[in-house]
């Protein structure tokens, strides 16, 4: 490949596949392999896209000022999600982590004369009620809240939290974020022998109908310790490796219905 130089990448472009959504999802399924260098190159392309958006916004603000519209409109700058570059083992935005959830949310409004940074956690569902409030329209009694009071310098609540949810079959993940950090609940169906593996980020729990639990596990990136609980009581720990599958077999005591991995 020819050497390539930019603000975000120096040196030859890796000989790899096109970083389209389907290809990157295939990486998550283990159907395509990706090296750390290629991951960094894809990340540099993403950074370049962000720089392009900055240039377009600069042109937009210049045109609004030229047309004397800057003091007559409300602008909201935000994004639907961020992207993960294998910080947690995957690409794109299939998992609920801060890398994919924390996005810009900037309100530009003629009535907001002083810049203000709101520290409280807010959610995307708050955008619509805020715009309705700014426009003087009724806010439906649905999810979300108006942020106008916060934007105008109102008192921020001592406690704030936000939720997110992800569905990637056969896995469902719910995340709660507050001032103490974030926590995840992950649920997945048990795999049949002919199904492809599923990546479990933190933990998984399931009911056991048989008198034996048997599954195969492999870790991501480095050796790890897998802890198993039966009905809330730790049953033991197992060392697992990233380069091999380890078979775990457990015989739960009679009457114990739940295993937590």
pLDDT digits (tens, 9 = 90+) for 173-230: 777 777 777 776 666 665 555 566 666 666 766 666 667 777 788 887 678 888 888 7
Q: How far apart, in whole angstroms, are the C-alpha atoms of residue 221 and residue 241?
A: 8
Q: Is the pLDDT of residue 3 over 60?
A: no
Q: Could you tell me the CA-to-CA distances from 98 to 26, 138, 167 in Å, in that order?
A: 22, 32, 17
More confident residue, 256 or 217: 217
Read off the pLDDT of each residue in 153-162 and give the average, rounded to a whole number: 78
Q: Is the pLDDT of residue 78 over 90?
A: yes
Q: How far apart, in whole angstroms, are the C-alpha atoms of residue 61 and residue 255?
A: 66
Please name every residue paired with 221 in a beta bridge, in sequence order, or none if there are none.
none
More confident residue, 161 or 255: 161
Q: How far apart, in whole angstroms, are the C-alpha atoms of residue 26 and residue 17?
A: 11
Most confident of 1-15, 44-58, 231-245: 44-58
Residue 4 pLDDT class (50, 70, 90 cuts): very low
Q: Is the pLDDT of residue 142 over 50?
A: yes
Tell me what percent of the residues of the chain surpass a pLDDT of 90.
27
More confident residue, 197 or 113: 113
What is the model's pLDDT at position 2? 43
* Whole-number average pLDDT of the chain: 81
Least confidently predicted of 145-154, 235-244, 245-254: 245-254
Q: How far is CA 72 from the centre of its chain?
A: 35
Give CA torsion, residues 102, 220, 239, 231, to 10 deg: 50
Residues in Cβ contact with 50 at an 8 Å cutoff, skipping those fewer than 6 apart: none
More confident residue, 240 or 215: 240
Please count the CA atoms within 13 angstroms of the CA of 134 that sit on its side-chain side. 22
Question: And the tokens for 158?
Answer: 């001592």
More confident residue, 232 or 190: 232
Read off the pLDDT of each residue in 157-185 and give the average, rounded to a whole number: 73
């Amino acid at each position: 490949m020819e050497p390539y130089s930019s603000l975000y990448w120096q040196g030859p472009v890796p000989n790899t596949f096109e970083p389209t959504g389907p290809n990157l999802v295939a990486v998550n399924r283990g159907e395509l392999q990706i090296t750390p260098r290629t991951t960094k190159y894809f990340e540099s392309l993403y950074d370049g896209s962000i720089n392009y958006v900055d240039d377009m916004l600069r042109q937009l603000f210049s045109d609004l000022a030229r047309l004397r519209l800057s003091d007559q409109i409300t602008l909201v700058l935000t994004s639907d999600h961020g992207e993960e570059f294998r910080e947690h083992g995957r690409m794109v935005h299939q998992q609920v982590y801060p890398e994919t959830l924390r996005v810009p949310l900037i309100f530009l409004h003629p009535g907001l004369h002083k810049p203000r940074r709101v520290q409280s956690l807010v959610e995307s569902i708050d955008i619509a009620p805020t715009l309705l409030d700014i426009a003087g329209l009724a806010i439906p009694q649905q999810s979300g809240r108006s942020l106008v009071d916060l934007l105008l310098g109102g008192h921020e609540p001592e406690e704030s939290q936000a939720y997110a949810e992800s569905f990637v079959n056969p896995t469902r993940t719910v995340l709660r974020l507050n001032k103490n950090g974030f926590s995840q609940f992950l649920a997945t169906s048990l795999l049949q022998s002919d199904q492809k593996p599923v990546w479990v980020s933190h933990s998984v729990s399931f009911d056991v109908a048989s008198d034996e639990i048997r599954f195969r596990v492999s870790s991501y990136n480095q050796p790890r310790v897998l802890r198993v609980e039966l009905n809330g009581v730790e049953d033991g720990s197992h060392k697992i490796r990233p380069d091999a599958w380890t078979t775990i077999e457990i015989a739960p005591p009679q009457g114990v219905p739940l295993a937590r991995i």
